[in-house]
Amino acid sequence: MLMNEHEKLTKDHYKIFALSWAGWVFDFYDLMLFTFLVSQLQSSLNFTAEMLSLCLGVSLFATGLGGIVFGALGDKYGRKTVLQWTIIVYSIGTLLSAFSWSFYSLIIFRFITGLGVGGEWATGQTYINETFPDKLRARYGAFMQSGAPVGVILASIVGGLISPIIGWRLTFLISIIPAITVIFIRRHLKESDVWIQNRDEYVNKNIFQEFKQLITKEHRKIFLISLILCLFGMSAYWYTYSWLPTYLTKERGLAAVGTTLGIILIQSGDFLGYTSFGFVAEKLGRRPAFTIYSFIMGISISMITLCWNQIEAVPDLIFVFMFLTGFGTGFFGGFGALFSELFPTKIRNTAVGTVFNLARGAQFVTPVIITLVATYFDLSYGIAIASIFAILCGIWIWVFPETKGTVLNELD
């Protein structure tokens, strides 16, 4: 019996989930920590805002490249093995970042961090979606995504409250400890048995053949519409979050503690959005769930940017829409299950990694565009672009077939 054929979850299911979730927590923590260290890096190494925007952009580009490469490696060498590799790579990048001495050294080290970060998500999602029962796939895929807001909250606490006391170099150094702990624990996990029963077909295959299959007639259409969906979703996310701490501090006058509390509030909504999305997707289907959550995000972003001056007279509304911005982001919890259900086992990790991370790598330009918009207007207009992409995501999902109930047990 395959793991995903069990009626009840076993201890192996919970181990796979817990370690995949933990990896995503520290993966996202590493990626977002940088945005909370911007002011210290500016003063310590004399960086300009444009230089730091480029550095963040390079990190995002590297996540795209890393996700594509590790996605293909996950189909060739297994989900468990590649999860180990990704966390080692981004831990090395974070460690080296602590010793940055110039703009170019920091870019190189953040590029390495991004490579590892990019590979973590797709492999973890594929691992969970192949081993959990069909009826629970959307739920636990969304639960894994909830590691992202936990990572952001940790980054906001460490970067916003602890880092000013210990400095940015020591902050990077201590940030590798949890990730290294996860590496040792993961050694005891079981490999995906769905991958094992299919691996003889492609274990010795050149990984470039996996990429070529994505653009064959059989898979081309679903690959392209999946990429567009993910581009809309990624743009909505990164236009919102890449400069959000700076926006709340410099344009809305919140102190460091206030900004940290605001981020925690948004990420609390984010966490509840992810954890609830799976239940909604199981009940209503993937498409309605995407639309509901992405529309909530789009409307709420507009309220905390373009309409800030109109609603700040009622402080509670600011908090409500901050929370709802995070809650609507919960539609990201559906990408893992949806994409896993659309592609066969032999290219599943390649497809999931390529779609998700091409879209994330394309966000290379996002911090730069927001900076340019802020030069002529202000940050609120740059961040408000996210609302357009969130709405587009909620509309575009309807070009997909409904994948609720798809079985992943068959030999491909």
> pLDDT tens digit string along 27-38?
878 877 887 787
Chain-centroid distance of CA 176 in Å reads: 19
User: How far apart are the C-alpha atoms of 403 and 338, rounded to whole Å?
Assistant: 7
What is residue 90's predicted lDDT score, i.e. its pLDDT? 83
Whether the Cβ atoms of residue 382 and residue 370 lie closer than 8 Å to each other: yes
Chain-centroid distance of CA 342 in Å reads: 20
CATH number at residue 61: 1.20.1250.20
Whether the Cβ atoms of residue 179 and residue 26 lie closer than 8 Å to each other: yes
What is residue 257's predicted lDDT score, i.e. its pLDDT? 56
Query: How do residues 232-241 score in pLDDT, each as one tens digit?
Result: 998 898 888 7
What is residue 226's predicted lDDT score, i.e. its pLDDT? 93
What is residue 260's predicted lDDT score, i.e. its pLDDT? 65
Q: What letter would DSSP give residue 402?
A: P
Question: Residue 396 — very low, low, confident or very high, per pLDDT cuts 50/70/90?
Answer: very high
Whether the Cβ atoms of residue 134 and residue 407 lie closer than 8 Å to each other: yes
Query: How do residues 108-159 score in pLDDT, each as one tens digit?
Result: 998 998 888 878 877 888 888 888 888 888 888 888 888 888 888 888 788 8
Mean of the per-residue pLDDT values of the chain: 82
For 170, residues 6+ apart whose C-beta sits below 8 A from its C-beta are: 98
Residue 189 domain-assigned (yes or no): no
User: How far apart are the C-alpha atoms of 245 and 1, rounded to whole Å?
Assistant: 49
For 376, residues 6+ apart whose C-beta sits below 8 A from its C-beta are: none
- Count the alpha carbons within 13 Å of 332 in the hemisphere toward its beta carbon: 31
Residue with tokens 């997909």: 400
Query: Which is nearest to 249 in space by CA: 239, 257, 241?
Result: 257
For 206, residues 6+ apart whose C-beta sits below 8 A from its C-beta are: none
Question: Residue 389 — very low, low, confident or very high, per pLDDT cuts 50/70/90?
Answer: very high
Strand, coil or helix: what is 409? coil
Residue 281 domain-assigned (yes or no): yes
Q: What letter would DSSP give residue 344?
A: -
Question: Residue 272 — very low, low, confident or very high, per pLDDT cuts 50/70/90?
Answer: very high
Residue 107 domain-assigned (yes or no): yes
- Name, of 168-177, 285-294, 341-350, 375-384, the range with top average pLDDT: 285-294
What is residue 411's predicted lDDT score, i.e. its pLDDT? 43
Model confidence at 195: pLDDT above 90: no
Residue with tokens 């490579």: 115
Chain-centroid distance of CA 269 in Å reads: 16
Query: How do residues 33-57 score in pLDDT, each as one tens digit?
Result: 887 787 788 778 877 777 877 787 7
Question: Residue 299 — very low, low, confident or very high, per pLDDT cuts 50/70/90?
Answer: very high
What is residue 204's predicted lDDT score, i.e. its pLDDT? 52
Residue 74 domain-assigned (yes or no): yes
Residue 4 domain-assigned (yes or no): no
User: How far apart are the C-alpha atoms of 24 and 185, rounded to whole Å?
Assistant: 15
Residue 409 domain-assigned (yes or no): no
User: How far apart are the C-alpha atoms of 412 and 398, rounded to whole Å?
Assistant: 26
Residue 405 domain-assigned (yes or no): no
Four-CA torsion 344, 355, 350, 110, nearest 10 degrees: -160
What residue numbers bound the domain in which 311 lies?
A: 13-182+210-399
Whether the Cβ atoms of residue 194 and residue 4 lie closer than 8 Å to each other: yes
**What Å distances lie between residue 61 and 35, 167, 193, CA to CA?**
16, 27, 32
User: How far apart are the C-alpha atoms of 116 and 5, rounded to whole Å?
Assistant: 31
What is residue 412's predicted lDDT score, i.e. its pLDDT? 47
Q: What letter would DSSP give residue 405?
A: T
User: How far apart are the C-alpha atoms of 295 and 105, rounded to whole Å?
Assistant: 40
Q: What letter would DSSP give residue 189?
A: P
Query: Which is nearest to 68 in space by CA: 24, 108, 117, 106?
Result: 117
Per DSSP, the residues of 77-98 read H-HHHHHHHHHHHHHHHHHHHT
Tokens matching residue 116: 């590892």
Query: Which is nearest to 351 in space by CA: 332, 338, 333, 365?
Result: 338
Residue 190 domain-assigned (yes or no): no
Model confidence at 255: pLDDT above 80: no
What is residue 225's predicted lDDT score, i.e. its pLDDT? 94
Model confidence at 207: pLDDT above 70: no
Whether the Cβ atoms of residue 360 and residue 63 lie closer than 8 Å to each other: yes
Q: How many separate domains does the chain show?
A: 1
